[in-house]
Amino acid sequence: MTGKHVNLNIGGSLFALLGIVFIVLKLCHVIDWAWWLVLLPLYVPFVLAVLVLVFVCLWVKVSE
């Protein structure tokens, strides 16, 4: 193998870390947010994946 490959994936990890930080801050009564706001960073990767899937499906359907 002659080339070096660097794989940088911080997208999911960043949202997970942010979600954990928000949960800890909520449980320690540092922030007084609603739980849906605290858990929102955990849903972002799933929502983005669904949006990409829908976009690809629509793109394939239009291309036919």
Model pTM score: 0.67
Confidence category of residue 14, pLDDT binned at 50, 70, 90: confident
Please choose, from the candidates 50, 45, 53, the residue with its C-alpha nearest in 3D space to the C-alpha of residue 14.
45
- The Cα 16–Cα 40 span in angstroms is 10
For tokens 């960073």, what's the residue?
A: 41
Res 8: pLDDT: 58
